[in-house]
């Protein structure tokens, strides 16, 4: 029987915190994290030395050659990091990372291009569909990589794998192996996630709709809140609730509807 248990993580702290509750409950020998393989030793070292997440994050960004502006990209990892600091004191577990360094840096590059496109829309109040199509084509042509051999080795032991929401290549691979995949039942995908996941299957009208909704999220929620977690919760309880059926239907078009078991998400939604 496959012993792999997969938790899908949105980049929102409240959801990664929910997963932490499960980590305390589950019996596992290995845990695989969505971080570059090259970070694995650094992560193990900082956890074993009981160093703070801020110390780890600073060193990781330095290793990756990223500026402080990218700190927020990894904020959702903090609850998991702090939980693992406690768990390794209670029992022996093996930490593994499975993302390629090239993939991590490519994602950062996409973020920079995305922000430039969003800024163009905010300034001009116009959406140039061709620019967005070009961006989506570039994203889809570069399949995000992972060291799948790591997952094959983990099937021999009780293992938990954490996978970022929208990492289609990893989720499809793990689904084929027979892993049990658990998704947050109350998570409403953000417009940008739908845009990137569904990608070339979208019509021009749908691209415009999703871009407008993403810009609206930034202007009406993110700019007015202290952080993305606060912005997401407010958006999900208001505008997100209004358009969630449309977002889910678009995700199904990309065959990305994970009709699987779920752990409890936001009870307030």
In the prediction, which pLDDT does 264 show? 42
Residue 142 confidence (pLDDT): 58
Exposure letters 107-117 (e unless 16+ CB within 10 A, then b): beebeeebeeb
Residues 45-67: tens digit of each pLDDT:
999 999 999 999 999 999 999 99
- The CA-to-CA distance between both ends of the chain, in Å, stands at 35
Q: Give Cβ neighbours of residue 157 (< 8 Å, ≥ 6 apart).
A: 3, 29, 30
Buried b (16+ CB within 10 A) or exposed e, 41-78: ebbbebbeeeeebeebbebbbeebebeeeeeebbbbbb
Give the 3-state secondary structure of residue 231. Answer: helix
113-156 pLDDT, tens digit per residue, is: 999 999 999 999 999 999 999 999 888 765 555 677 888 878 76
Q: pLDDT averaged over the chain?
A: 89
Predicted pLDDT of residue 46? 98
Domains (range + CATH), the chain: 1-100+146-184 (3.40.1010), 101-144+188-257 (no CATH)
Indicate if the alpha-carbon torsion angle 96, 4, 6, 267 is positive or negative.
negative
List, edge to edge, every strand of the sheet that includes 94-99. 94-99, 30-36, 159-164, 4-9, 180-184, 262-263
Tokens encoding 88: 């390794």
Dihedral-angle region of residue 125 (phi above 0 means left; psi in -120 to 50 means alpha; beta otherwise): left
Q: How many of the other CB atoms lie within 10 Å of CB of 18?
A: 20
On the question of pLDDT at 267 being above 80, the answer is: no
For 186-235, write each residue's pLDDT tens digit. 899 999 999 998 998 999 999 999 999 999 999 999 999 999 999 999 99
Alpha carbons 262 and 252: distance in angstroms, whole number: 17
Helix, strand, coil share (%) of the chain residues, nearest 5: 60, 10, 25
> 143 φ, ψ to 5°?
-65, 130
Rounded Cα gap, residues 48 and 84, in angstroms: 10
Q: C-alpha angle 252/256/258, rounded to 5°?
A: 100
In this model, does residue 94 exceed pLDDT 50? yes
The single-letter DSSP state of residue 78 is: H
């Amino acid at each position: 029987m496959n012993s792999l248990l997969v938790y899908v993580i949105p980049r929102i702290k409240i959801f990664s915190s929910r997963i932490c509750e499960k980590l305390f409950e589950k019996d596992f020998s290995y845990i695989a994290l969505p971080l570059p393989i090259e970070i694995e030793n650094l992560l193990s070292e900082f956890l074993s030395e009981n160093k703070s997440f801020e110390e780890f994050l600073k060193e990781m960004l330095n290793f990756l050659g990223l500026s402080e502006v990218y700190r927020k990209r990894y904020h959702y990892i903090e609850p998991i990091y702090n939980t693992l600091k406690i768990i390794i004191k209670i029992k022996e577990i093996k930490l593994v990372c499975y993302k390629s360094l090239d993939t991590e840096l490519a994602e950062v590059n996409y973020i920079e291009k995305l922000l430039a496109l969003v800024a163009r829309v905010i300034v001009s109040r116009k959406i140039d569909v061709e620019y967005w199509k070009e961006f989506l084509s570039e994203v889809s042509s570069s399949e995000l990589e992972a060291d799948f051999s790591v997952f094959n080795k983990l099937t021999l032991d009780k293992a938990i794998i954490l996978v970022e929401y929208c990492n289609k290549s990893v989720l499809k691979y793990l689904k084929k192996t027979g892993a049990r995949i658990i998704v947050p039942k109350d998570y409403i995908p953000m417009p940008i996630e739908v845009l990137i996941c569904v990608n070339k299957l979208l019509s021009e009208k749908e691209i415009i709709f999703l871009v407008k909704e993403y810009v609206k999220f930034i202007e009406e929620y993110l700019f007015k809140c202290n952080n993305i977690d606060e912005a997401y919760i407010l958006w999900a309880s208001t505008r997100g609730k209004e358009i969630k059926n449309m977002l889910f239907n678009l995700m199904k078009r990309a065959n990305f509807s994970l009709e699987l078991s779920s752990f409890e998400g936001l009870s307030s939604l």
